[in-house]
Protein backbone atom coordinates (compact mmCIF):
# COMPACT_ATOMS: atom_id res chain seq x y z
CA UNK A 1 0.00 0.00 0.00
CA UNK A 2 1.08 3.50 -0.58
CA UNK A 3 -0.91 6.46 0.43
CA UNK A 4 0.18 10.00 -0.04
CA UNK A 5 -1.81 13.07 0.77
CA UNK A 6 -1.64 16.66 1.87
CA UNK A 7 0.68 16.09 4.80
CA UNK A 8 3.20 14.23 2.66
CA UNK A 9 2.98 16.91 0.02
CA UNK A 10 3.58 19.60 2.54
CA UNK A 11 6.57 17.76 3.99
CA UNK A 12 8.22 16.76 0.74
CA UNK A 13 11.16 19.07 1.22
CA UNK A 14 11.69 18.30 4.86
CA UNK A 15 13.98 15.71 6.42
CA UNK A 16 13.33 12.00 6.26
CA UNK A 17 11.85 11.84 9.72
CA UNK A 18 9.34 14.60 8.97
CA UNK A 19 8.38 12.91 5.72
CA UNK A 20 7.75 9.58 7.39
CA UNK A 21 5.75 11.31 10.07
CA UNK A 22 3.69 13.04 7.41
CA UNK A 23 3.07 9.76 5.60
CA UNK A 24 1.83 8.28 8.85
CA UNK A 25 -0.51 11.21 9.34
CA UNK A 26 -1.97 10.89 5.85
CA UNK A 27 -2.45 7.20 6.42
CA UNK A 28 -4.08 7.84 9.77
CA UNK A 29 -6.54 10.24 8.17
CA UNK A 30 -7.41 7.63 5.57
CA UNK A 31 -7.92 4.90 8.14
CA UNK A 32 -9.91 7.07 10.56
CA UNK A 33 -12.10 8.17 7.68
CA UNK A 34 -12.63 4.64 6.42
CA UNK A 35 -12.95 2.64 9.65
CA UNK A 36 -13.79 5.21 12.28
CA UNK A 37 -11.52 6.12 15.14
CA UNK A 38 -12.26 3.22 17.44
CA UNK A 39 -11.84 0.53 14.84
CA UNK A 40 -8.67 2.00 13.40
CA UNK A 41 -5.53 0.03 14.20
CA UNK A 42 -1.96 1.22 14.46
CA UNK A 43 -0.88 -1.72 12.31
CA UNK A 44 -3.19 -0.69 9.52
CA UNK A 45 -1.97 2.89 9.64
CA UNK A 46 1.62 1.73 9.41
CA UNK A 47 0.76 -0.64 6.59
CA UNK A 48 -0.91 2.12 4.57
CA UNK A 49 2.04 4.39 5.22
CA UNK A 50 4.42 1.70 3.98
CA UNK A 51 6.47 1.59 7.14
CA UNK A 52 7.15 -1.14 9.67
CA UNK A 53 4.89 -1.08 12.67
CA UNK A 54 7.75 -0.20 14.98
CA UNK A 55 8.28 3.01 13.05
CA UNK A 56 4.89 4.24 14.12
CA UNK A 57 5.95 4.23 17.75
CA UNK A 58 9.06 6.22 16.96
CA UNK A 59 6.86 9.07 15.81
CA UNK A 60 3.78 8.82 18.00
CA UNK A 61 3.15 7.51 21.47
CA UNK A 62 -0.05 5.76 20.43
CA UNK A 63 -3.23 6.07 18.39
CA UNK A 64 -4.59 8.90 20.51
CA UNK A 65 -1.46 10.94 19.95
CA UNK A 66 -1.61 10.75 16.19
CA UNK A 67 -5.34 11.42 16.22
CA UNK A 68 -4.90 14.52 18.32
CA UNK A 69 -2.14 15.80 16.07
CA UNK A 70 -4.02 15.06 12.87
CA UNK A 71 -7.36 16.55 13.87
CA UNK A 72 -5.72 19.59 15.38
CA UNK A 73 -3.90 20.31 12.15
CA UNK A 74 -6.90 19.65 9.95
CA UNK A 75 -9.15 21.86 12.03
CA UNK A 76 -6.58 24.63 12.16
CA UNK A 77 -5.97 24.45 8.48
CA UNK A 78 -9.66 24.63 7.67
CA UNK A 79 -10.19 27.47 10.11
CA UNK A 80 -7.32 29.43 8.62
CA UNK A 81 -8.60 29.08 5.09
CA UNK A 82 -12.16 29.90 6.09
CA UNK A 83 -11.10 33.00 8.00
CA UNK A 84 -9.12 34.10 5.01
CA UNK A 85 -12.06 33.68 2.66
CA UNK A 86 -14.25 35.79 4.96
CA UNK A 87 -11.87 38.56 5.88
CA UNK A 88 -13.82 41.27 4.01
CA UNK A 89 -17.31 40.28 5.10
CA UNK A 90 -18.98 42.28 7.86
CA UNK A 91 -22.56 41.05 7.85
CA UNK A 92 -22.91 38.16 10.31
CA UNK A 93 -25.45 36.25 8.25
CA UNK A 94 -23.20 36.42 5.24
CA UNK A 95 -20.23 35.40 7.34
CA UNK A 96 -22.02 32.38 8.67
CA UNK A 97 -23.19 31.31 5.27
CA UNK A 98 -19.79 31.85 3.76
CA UNK A 99 -18.01 29.93 6.50
CA UNK A 100 -20.39 27.01 6.20
CA UNK A 101 -20.10 26.87 2.46
CA UNK A 102 -16.35 27.22 2.48
CA UNK A 103 -16.08 24.53 5.13
CA UNK A 104 -18.06 22.09 3.07
CA UNK A 105 -16.15 22.94 -0.05
CA UNK A 106 -12.86 22.20 1.66
CA UNK A 107 -14.16 18.95 3.07
CA UNK A 108 -15.59 17.90 -0.27
CA UNK A 109 -12.24 18.57 -1.91
CA UNK A 110 -10.56 16.36 0.70
CA UNK A 111 -13.22 13.81 1.60
CA UNK A 112 -10.85 11.91 3.82
CA UNK A 113 -10.25 14.96 5.96
CA UNK A 114 -13.96 15.59 6.03
CA UNK A 115 -14.76 12.10 7.21
CA UNK A 116 -11.96 12.16 9.73
CA UNK A 117 -13.39 15.37 11.20
CA UNK A 118 -16.88 13.93 11.32
CA UNK A 119 -15.81 10.67 12.91
CA UNK A 120 -13.52 12.19 15.45
CA UNK A 121 -15.78 15.07 16.44
CA UNK A 122 -17.61 12.46 18.50
CA UNK A 123 -14.57 11.34 20.42
CA UNK A 124 -12.60 14.54 20.67
CA UNK A 125 -14.40 17.03 22.89
CA UNK A 126 -11.53 19.46 22.39
CA UNK A 127 -12.13 19.54 18.68
CA UNK A 128 -15.81 20.04 19.31
CA UNK A 129 -15.16 22.97 21.58
CA UNK A 130 -12.74 24.49 19.13
CA UNK A 131 -15.37 24.46 16.40
CA UNK A 132 -18.02 25.77 18.75
CA UNK A 133 -16.02 28.80 19.68
CA UNK A 134 -15.19 29.40 16.04
CA UNK A 135 -18.88 29.51 15.15
CA UNK A 136 -19.97 31.35 18.23
CA UNK A 137 -18.13 34.50 17.14
CA UNK A 138 -20.31 35.00 14.08
CA UNK A 139 -23.53 33.95 15.74
CA UNK A 140 -23.01 36.41 18.57
CA UNK A 141 -22.16 39.06 16.05
CA UNK A 142 -25.47 38.35 14.31
CA UNK A 143 -27.34 38.95 17.53
CA UNK A 144 -25.62 42.25 18.22
CA UNK A 145 -26.23 43.32 14.64
CA UNK A 146 -29.90 42.66 15.30
CA UNK A 147 -30.10 39.99 12.59
CA UNK A 148 -30.87 36.97 14.73
CA UNK A 149 -33.71 37.06 17.20
CA UNK A 150 -32.80 33.84 18.93
CA UNK A 151 -30.52 33.89 21.94
CA UNK A 152 -27.26 32.07 21.33
CA UNK A 153 -26.25 29.50 23.90
CA UNK A 154 -24.33 26.23 23.90
CA UNK A 155 -27.43 24.23 23.05
CA UNK A 156 -28.08 26.23 19.88
CA UNK A 157 -24.46 26.08 18.84
CA UNK A 158 -24.43 22.35 19.33
CA UNK A 159 -27.55 22.03 17.24
CA UNK A 160 -26.13 24.14 14.43
CA UNK A 161 -22.93 22.13 14.43
CA UNK A 162 -24.83 18.88 14.19
CA UNK A 163 -26.80 20.22 11.24
CA UNK A 164 -23.65 21.21 9.41
CA UNK A 165 -22.02 17.85 10.06
CA UNK A 166 -25.12 16.05 8.94
CA UNK A 167 -25.15 18.03 5.69
CA UNK A 168 -21.45 17.39 5.24
CA UNK A 169 -21.96 13.67 5.69
CA UNK A 170 -24.75 13.72 3.11
CA UNK A 171 -22.46 15.54 0.72
CA UNK A 172 -19.57 13.16 1.27
CA UNK A 173 -21.82 10.13 0.91
CA UNK A 174 -23.02 11.53 -2.37
CA UNK A 175 -26.62 11.89 -1.17
CA UNK A 176 -26.40 15.63 -1.68
CA UNK A 177 -24.45 17.79 -4.10
CA UNK A 178 -22.91 21.22 -3.87
CA UNK A 179 -26.23 22.70 -2.88
CA UNK A 180 -26.04 21.02 0.54
CA UNK A 181 -24.04 23.88 2.00
CA UNK A 182 -26.48 26.55 0.84
CA UNK A 183 -29.43 24.51 2.00
CA UNK A 184 -28.11 24.00 5.48
CA UNK A 185 -27.09 27.67 5.71
CA UNK A 186 -30.59 28.73 4.81
CA UNK A 187 -32.12 26.36 7.32
CA UNK A 188 -29.89 27.59 10.12
CA UNK A 189 -30.52 31.24 9.36
CA UNK A 190 -34.29 30.69 9.42
CA UNK A 191 -33.97 28.79 12.64
CA UNK A 192 -32.10 31.68 14.23
CA UNK A 193 -34.89 34.10 13.37
CA UNK A 194 -33.39 35.64 10.26
CA UNK A 195 -36.19 36.55 7.82
CA UNK A 196 -36.77 33.58 5.46
CA UNK A 197 -36.60 35.57 2.24
CA UNK A 198 -33.30 37.13 3.23
CA UNK A 199 -32.01 33.82 4.48
CA UNK A 200 -32.64 32.35 1.09
CA UNK A 201 -30.94 35.25 -0.65
CA UNK A 202 -27.88 35.18 1.55
CA UNK A 203 -27.46 31.40 1.53
CA UNK A 204 -27.72 31.10 -2.24
CA UNK A 205 -25.90 34.24 -3.33
CA UNK A 206 -22.90 33.32 -5.43
CA UNK A 207 -19.65 33.62 -3.54
CA UNK A 208 -16.08 32.83 -4.38
CA UNK A 209 -15.21 29.51 -2.81
CA UNK A 210 -11.53 28.86 -2.60
CA UNK A 211 -10.46 25.37 -3.41
CA UNK A 212 -8.33 23.25 -1.21
CA UNK A 213 -4.84 24.51 -0.66
CA UNK A 214 -2.12 22.32 0.74
CA UNK A 215 0.64 24.90 0.58
CA UNK A 216 -0.08 25.95 4.06
CA UNK A 217 2.66 26.47 6.49
CA UNK A 218 5.92 28.26 5.87
CA UNK A 219 8.24 25.49 4.88
CA UNK A 220 11.75 25.20 6.22
CA UNK A 221 14.02 25.46 3.23
CA UNK A 222 16.40 22.86 4.59
CA UNK A 223 15.91 19.77 6.67
CA UNK A 224 17.16 20.40 10.12
CA UNK A 225 19.85 18.38 11.79
CA UNK A 226 20.53 18.39 15.46
CA UNK A 227 21.99 21.75 16.37
CA UNK A 228 25.76 21.78 16.47
CA UNK A 229 26.55 23.47 19.68
CA UNK A 230 29.53 25.80 19.43
CA UNK A 231 31.16 27.09 22.55
Q: Write out the residues near DNA by the rule CB under 7 A.
A: 15-17, 19-20, 40-44, 50-55, 57-59, 62-63, 223, 225-226, 228
Nearer to DNA, 53 or 213 (CB): 53
**Binding partner at 95 among DNA, a copy of itself, none, C-beta below 5 to 8 Å by kind:** none
The binder of a copy of itself chosen from 19, 136, 183, 210 (CB under 8 A): 183
- 15 interacts with a copy of itself by CB under 8 A: no
Minimum Å gap between C-beta 59 and DNA is: 6
- CB 192 to a copy of itself: min, Å: 9
Rounded distance, CA 147 to CA 182, Å? 18
Question: Which of 1, 9, 39, 58 contacts a copy of itself by CB under 8 A?
Answer: 39
Contact 123, 38 (CB under 8 A): yes
- Torsion over CA: 24, 26, 29, 31 (sign): negative
Q: Is 27 left (phi over 0), alpha (psi -120 to 50) or beta?
A: alpha
Contact between 183 and 167 under an 8 Å Cβ cutoff? The reply is yes
Q: Maximum Cα–Cα distance for the chain, whole Å?
A: 71
Out of DNA, a copy of itself, none, what residue 183 binds, judged by CB under 5 to 8 A for its kind, is a copy of itself
Contacts of 19 (CB under 8 A, 6+ apart): 8, 11, 12
Q: What is the DSSP letter of 11?
A: T
Rounded least distance, CB 162 to DNA, Å: 29
Residue ranges of E strands in the chain:
none
CA distance 109 to 115: 11
Q: Smallest distance from the beta carbon of 202 to a copy of itself, in angstroms? A: 15
Q: Which does 15 bind (CB under 5 to 8 A by kind): a copy of itself, DNA, none?
A: DNA
> Pick from 42, 68, 143, 170: which binds a copy of itself (CB under 8 A)?
170
- Do 203 and 189 form a contact (C-beta atoms < 8 A)? yes
Q: Which does 125 bind (CB under 5 to 8 A by kind): DNA, a copy of itself, none?
A: none
- Per-residue mark of binding to a copy of itself, 90-129 (x: CB under 8 A): ----------------------------------------
Amino acid sequence: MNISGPFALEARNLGKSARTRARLMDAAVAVFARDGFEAASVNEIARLADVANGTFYVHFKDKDAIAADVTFRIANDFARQIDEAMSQIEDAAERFSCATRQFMELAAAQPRWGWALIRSAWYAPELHRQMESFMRADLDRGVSQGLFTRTIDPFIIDTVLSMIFSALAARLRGDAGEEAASRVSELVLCMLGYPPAQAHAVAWSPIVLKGFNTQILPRNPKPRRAATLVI
